[in-house]
Amino acid sequence: MSQTFLGMPLLPVFGTGNLHASESFPKAAHRELGNAQLRANLGHATHTIRDKRLQVVSELPDWEQLRDAGSAIKESVMARLPELLEQFEKNFTARGGVIHWARDADEANEIVAGLIRETGETEAVKVKSMATQEIGLNEYLEEQGITALETDLAELIVQLDHDKPSHILVPAIHKNRSQVRDIFLREMPGADPALTDDPAKLAAAARTHLRRKFLTAKVAVSGANFALADSGTLAVVESEGNGRMCLTLPESLITVMGIEKLLPTWQDLEVFMQLLPRSSTGERMNPYTSLWTGVTEGDGPQNMHLVLLDNGRSAALADEMGRSALHCIRCSACMNVCPVYERTGGHAYGSTYPGPIGAILSPLMTGIQAEENNSLPYASSLCGACYDACPVKINIPDILVHLRGVDVDSKRGKKKIPTQMDAGMKAASWALSSGKRLGLLEKGLPLGRLAAGPDKKITKLPGIAAGWTQSRDIPAPPPQSFRTWWAKEHRGPDADGGPMPSHNKGDQP
Amino acid sequence: MSARDEILGRVRAALKDSPQVPQVPRGYRATSGLDEKALIELLVDRLVDYKAQVAVVDAAEVPTRIAALLVGAQSYVVPAGLDSGWLAGVEYEPADGRRHLDSAATPLTVAELDGIDAVVTGSAVAVAETGTIILDGSPSQGRRAISLVPDHHICVVKATDIAGILPEALRRIDGTRPLTMISGPSATSDIELERVEGVHGPRKLDVIIAR
Amino acid sequence: MKIALFATCIVDAMYPATAKATVAILERLGHEVVFPGGQACCGQMHVNSGYFKEAVPVIANHVAAFESDDYDVAVAPSGSCVASVKHQHPMIARSCGDRALEKRAAAVGAKTYELSELLVDVLGITDAGSQLGSWFPHRVTYHPSCHGMRLLRLGDRQQRLLNTVRGIDLIPLPEPDQCCGFGGTFSMKNADVSSAMLEDKAANITATGASLCSGGDASCLMHIGGGLSRQGSSIRTLHFAEILASTEQHPAQIAGEVQLLSGKAAQ
């Protein structure tokens, strides 16, 4: 190893940018849940995509083998990351590309702005990219006097509406068709006043709006879905053709990509290009995928730049239990099946990365103590639907639980007065770690029965338990526990539950 | 310290537990085992599902088919390396400016391409199971821009170039060429997650499968 | 076969009828049931809330209570608690650096079964009506709890057993795989989202027209039942063990006014 650890900053170095919840998840969720239109839109969209995904996944006899391969490939990428990054750099550079390294959001933004400025342009077209959302590139460029024009339909909707994306694949999932029409009529210069809310008509309006920009743009900014270490190849997976426009027509292309996006070899692409489209849009294949390896003379951009972004990824990598969150290929299957996301939408998560993957990725990248990100790992009932849907088998529920542990441990000894939860958990640990103690406490069940009153239900509890009774009753406890019954009354076979009813014996169909 | 060295240092430090590099289990299908007839049927089914138009013809009929598809086009572009026999059925009058040749050496400008109605290309390989056609920038397919800007793409796929599944197809091509994988006309699912065809890429895709 | 019953803390304290039903079914099949007295709780509330340190004594207590060789298999009428015993116990022991406990926990987990798993896979029950004498003339719908479905991969074992109960009218629940919103302390920490999930689950249950909702986890059923009760619904919840244990001679005791299919009230 040529590098030395001397002088290295202590790990982890956390990420910055749009990775934080600025208010706690329960508070944000409370507000979003109050928006009936939002809930209807999300319910419709997530159910549509769930059915489509299940359909195309069930067509493949080897889906589970593909998931196993995808998971193992990503695990090996993480284990070999330094070596693969250097290999990729060498190959990309040899083919005429230029690599820039960015420690964090600010550094990446400065690099991109500098590269655009070098071209003499003040406008750039953009292909949808999570990495540039994460670093807040558009806002930064605007401050620098550079206009970044989003060209993906959903990103365009969000940008025109001065809104924030709420989903990683379909950033405008929280809007329905008539809301999109209203935004176009209000914000799109020259929009036809007779525009209907037919999605095909809306797509055609976006085509007209962006066509001139595509044909005249000199600079494009993109993300990348995959980067192949053994060849220096980059891949962008898309649907509309806006990606091809940006990746093919301008003179300069600046790609911003997280360091975890690498795949070791060309062969690995056969796995991910089967996993990604089916998991994301529920299609057998997305309409367009572009792959390019550095500069090709006479075809496509002749100035090729790649910004390799850390911004907290190395911090996530340092967490042995959590590092597999970096396997994420941004398909969004986990949010589409998540019952929490379906009801709150993406804005409640604060970060660029919403849903189950965001609930682990954001705190892993920023550290659990950043702003309100420690509320994110609790934004799940641990139902496990996300794990089943994940094409690279990220065990999101286990990592959520792990991060809850990190959160609890991070506060130990720091609070003068323990929270109700702390005190309750401590008491419960004492009571539930001995059959004798639990048995003794159960002697108090008749008291609870008394408290329940003649209706035999408890309808109001104080403190944190009030959350339960806001929408649910608790039944009156039984007069005695099972334990007591067993000791006092259980008399063995043929007594308690009754023997096998005689008329049924030998009554096999 | 440079950002590069610092990031690589952070990554190395993050891996101080030296995680194992797992063996990648490749138990997924490597081939489809389908014969040419089945491959063609499957590819047609998938392309139609994407709302592409498909014709399966004998190789000798390709020129007639292309000519028929170009009837309404005021102008069209072809890569300089396209099999010239394929255009034998199209009436050619050099002076009418209907046919445009493009190559890396003599490229059309983007503005010129924008004024052209259609493009005819060959293809490198197709994937039956996913309805995907892969262009690799070789002479019969040309620069990426020509199959992008005109609104109507006519693409010839030779039956012998159809692979059953993606792993078979990717094994047949050089990954370092400028590649475009095309599965139907351009489309979006951005409004209510319902697919609609026709956004920025060619809104009309005609595939001619040549036996 | 000698079977050790892990009642689970919630069933022990709040739903003893479920444990009694489990005992009745197993004894009816001629097996000996033992109740290790040291048992208390699987500790998943602590684990799922991030209190790993506090979970360790709870886990250690469970392992100590069940590591005897004096029984063949252990069974619990809960997918969630069995999943915790099998998956979380070794994981937490390891993360807290107790390798010995990890090994012992894994051994206990290996011989612990969820009730339907034991009945179908080990005891070969395919027809509850004829093999257990199960009789339950009610209109019932069934919610498959998440942990049984996704962590234990129970598939349709519980539902298949219910389907073969004599007299039952089992009505499919719309969107059965959707979480009811319980999630342990999630129901308190994120009470609004949890309530919204529960609302949809309750609406789906109500839409079936069933008078009872069955399931395999007392905690989820308490959540669903608590929501239905708050809405003033007459639909009750009942663990599938109690339905399997119900016979003509010993019909299940159901709280409240539940209409028999024949039109008579059950109580």
**Alpha carbon distance B209, A285 (integer Å):** 19
Report A:442-461 residues touching C (Cβ under 8 A).
442, 445, 456-457, 459
Residue in A with minimal Cα distance to C195: A471
**Alpha carbon distance C45, A227 (integer Å):** 42
Distance (Å) from the alpha carbon of A502 to chain C's nearest alpha carbon: 9
Distance (Å) from the alpha carbon of C264 to chain A's nearest alpha carbon: 22
Answer yes or no: are the C-beta atoms of C55 and A429 closer than 8 Å: yes
CATH pick for A78-315 out of 3.30.365.10, 2.30.110.10, 3.40.50.10420, 3.40.50.720 = 3.40.50.10420
Answer yes or no: are the C-beta atoms of B135 and A248 closer than 8 Å: no
pLDDT band per the 50, 70, 90 thresholds, residue A506: very low
Residues of chain B contacting A244 with CB distance shorter than 8 Å: 144, 148, 180, 200-201
Residues of chain B contacting A273 with CB distance shorter than 8 Å: 166, 170, 181
Rg, chain C, Cα only: 18
Distances (CA, A) of A382 to A115, A372, B77, C117, C180: 44, 20, 56, 22, 11
Residue B14 to residue A12, Cβ atoms within 8 A: yes
Residue C179 to residue A339, Cβ atoms within 8 A: yes
Residue with tokens 């069930």: A58
Rg, chain B, Cα only: 21
What integer is the mean pLDDT of A338-349? Answer: 96
From A183-187, A188-192, A485-489, C61-65, the region with the lowest mean pLDDT: A188-192
Answer yes or no: are the C-beta atoms of C169 and C200 closer than 8 Å: no
Report B:128-147 residues touching A (Cβ under 8 A).
129-132, 137, 143-145
Within 10 angstroms of residue B26's Cβ, the number of other Cβ atoms is 18
Q: Beta B162-163 vs B196-197: how paired, if at all?
A: unpaired
Element (H, E) at C141: strand C139-143
pLDDT tens figures, B161-198: 999 999 999 999 999 999 999 999 999 988 988 888 88
Domain coordinates in residue numbering, chain A? 78-315, 440-492
Helices of type H across chain B: 3-14, 36-49, 62-69, 110-114, 166-171
pLDDT tens figures, B103-162: 999 999 999 999 999 999 999 999 999 999 999 999 999 999 999 999 999 999 999 999
Is the pLDDT at A88 greater than 80? The verdict is: yes
* Closest residue to C178, CB basis, from A339, A430, A466: A339
Instruction: Spell out the residues 6+ positions from residue A139 whose beta carbon is closer than 8 angstroms to its own.
Output: none
Q: Do chains B and C touch (3 or more CB pairs under 8 A)?
A: no
**Alpha carbon distance A24, B77 (integer Å):** 57
Q: What pLDDT does residue A473 have?
A: 93
Is the pLDDT at B204 greater than 70? The verdict is: yes
Residues of chain B contacting A240 with CB distance shorter than 8 Å: 186-188, 190, 199-201
Distance (Å) from the alpha carbon of A301 to chain B's nearest alpha carbon: 11
Residue C250 to residue A494, Cβ atoms within 8 A: no
What are residue C227's phi and psi, to 5 degrees? -70, -45
Which of the residues B15, B17, B42, B199 would you substitute to probe the A interface, choosing the one with the greatest number of A C-beta atoms within 10 Å?
B199
Distances (CA, A) of A31 to A22, A167, A347, A357, C193: 14, 18, 10, 22, 11
pLDDT tens figures, A454-497: 888 889 988 888 889 999 999 999 999 999 999 999 887 666 55
In a domain, B107, yes or no: yes
Q: What pLDDT does residue A508 have?
A: 35
Whether chain A has a CB inside 8 Å of the CB on C215: the answer is no
Residues of chain A contacting C12 with CB distance shorter than 8 Å: 438, 442, 481-483
Distance (Å) from the alpha carbon of A43 to chain C's nearest alpha carbon: 11
Q: What pLDDT does residue A8 have?
A: 55
Residue B179 to residue A291, Cβ atoms within 8 A: yes
pLDDT band per the 50, 70, 90 thresholds, residue A504: very low
In the DSSP assignment, the letter for residue B94 is G
Residue in C with minimal Cα distance to A436: C38
Whether chain B has a CB inside 8 Å of the CB on A66: the answer is yes
pLDDT band per the 50, 70, 90 thresholds, residue A269: very high
Whether chain A has a CB inside 8 Å of the CB on B193: the answer is yes
pLDDT band per the 50, 70, 90 thresholds, residue A323: very high
Pair of tokens at residue B164: 């059953």
Average predicted confidence (pLDDT) for chain B? 96
**Alpha carbon distance A23, A347 (integer Å):** 11
Report A:368-427 residues touching C (Cβ under 8 A).
377-385, 387-388, 398, 401-409, 421, 425-426
Residue A7 to residue B1, Cβ atoms within 8 A: yes
pLDDT tens figures, A38-67: 889 899 989 999 999 999 999 999 999 999
Residue with tokens 């959160």: A407
Residues of chain B contacting A208 with CB distance shorter than 8 Å: none
> Can you tell me whether residue A226 is helix, strand or coil?
strand
* Closest residue to A384, CB basis, from C7, C91, C151: C151
**Alpha carbon distance B140, C120 (integer Å):** 62
Report C:169-208 residues touching A (Cβ under 8 A).
177-179, 181-199
Report A:10-49 residues touching B (Cβ under 8 A).
11-13, 41, 44-46, 48-49
Please provide the DSSP assignment of A390-437 as one string: -TT---HHHHHHHHHHHHHHHHTTT-SS--HHHHHHHHHHHHHT-HHH
Q: What pLDDT does residue A324 have?
A: 98
| Percentage of chain A modeled with pLDDT above 70 | 95
Instruction: Spell out the residues 6+ positions from residue C184 whose beta carbon is closer than 8 angstroms to its own.
Output: A382, C44, C45, C48, C49, C219
Which of the residues A25, A342, A382 would you substitute to probe the C interface, choosing the one with the greatest number of C C-beta atoms within 10 Å?
A382
Report A:166-205 residues touching C (Cβ under 8 A).
none
Residue B7 to residue A287, Cβ atoms within 8 A: no
Residue in B with minimal Cα distance to A235: B179
Residue A442 to residue C17, Cβ atoms within 8 A: no
Report the residue count for chain B.
211
What integer is the mean pLDDT of A193-207? Answer: 93
In a domain, B15, yes or no: no
* Domains held by chain B: number: 1
Q: B95 is in which domain, residue-wise?
A: 32-210
Whether chain A has a CB inside 8 Å of the CB on B35: the answer is no
Q: What pLDDT does residue C255 have?
A: 64
Residue A457 to residue C229, Cβ atoms within 8 A: yes
Residue in A with minimal Cα distance to B129: A284
pLDDT in tens, chain C (267 residues): 999 999 999 999 999 999 999 999 999 999 999 999 999 999 999 999 999 999 999 999 999 999 999 999 999 999 999 999 999 999 999 999 999 999 999 999 999 999 999 999 999 999 999 999 999 999 999 999 999 999 999 999 999 999 999 999 999 999 999 999 999 999 999 999 999 999 999 999 999 999 999 999 999 999 999 999 999 999 999 999 999 999 999 998 776 555 455 444 443
Q: What pLDDT does residue C103 have?
A: 97
Is the pLDDT at A432 greater than 70? The verdict is: yes
Distances (CA, A) of C173 to A45, A69, A340, C55, C232: 22, 35, 20, 35, 20
Whether chain B has a CB inside 8 Å of the CB on A307: the answer is no
Distance (Å) from the alpha carbon of A459 to chain C's nearest alpha carbon: 8
Whether chain B has a CB inside 8 Å of the CB on A153: the answer is yes
In a domain, B11, yes or no: no
- Here the CATH number for the domain that contains residue B162 is 3.40.50.10420
Within 10 angstroms of residue A177's Cβ, the number of other Cβ atoms is 17
Q: Which of C42, C79, C76 is nearest to C58 (CA)?
A: C42
Distance (Å) from the alpha carbon of B83 to chain A's nearest alpha carbon: 20
Q: What is the 3-state secondary structure (H, E, C) of A12-41?
A: CCCCCCCCCCCCCHHHHHHHHHCCHHHHHH
The ipTM value here is 0.97
| Percentage of chain B modeled with pLDDT above 90 | 91
In a domain, B198, yes or no: yes
In the DSSP assignment, the letter for residue A177 is H
**Alpha carbon distance B55, B47 (integer Å):** 10
Which of the residues A236, A270, A307, A319 would you substitute to probe the B interface, choosing the one with the greatest number of B C-beta atoms within 10 Å?
A270
Q: What pLDDT does residue C261 have?
A: 55
| Percentage of chain A modeled with pLDDT above 90 | 81
Report B:86-105 residues touching A (Cβ under 8 A).
103-105
Q: Which chains touch B (3 or more CB pairs under 8 A)?
A: A
Instruction: Spell out the residues 6+ positions from residue B150 whose beta carbon is closer than 8 angstroms to its own.
Output: B76, B77, B113, B116, B117, B118, B119, B202
Is the pLDDT at A105 greater than 70? The verdict is: yes
Answer yes or no: are the C-beta atoms of B131 and A284 closer than 8 Å: yes
What are residue C91's phi and psi, to 5 degrees? -65, -45
Pair of tokens at residue A379: 């934004």
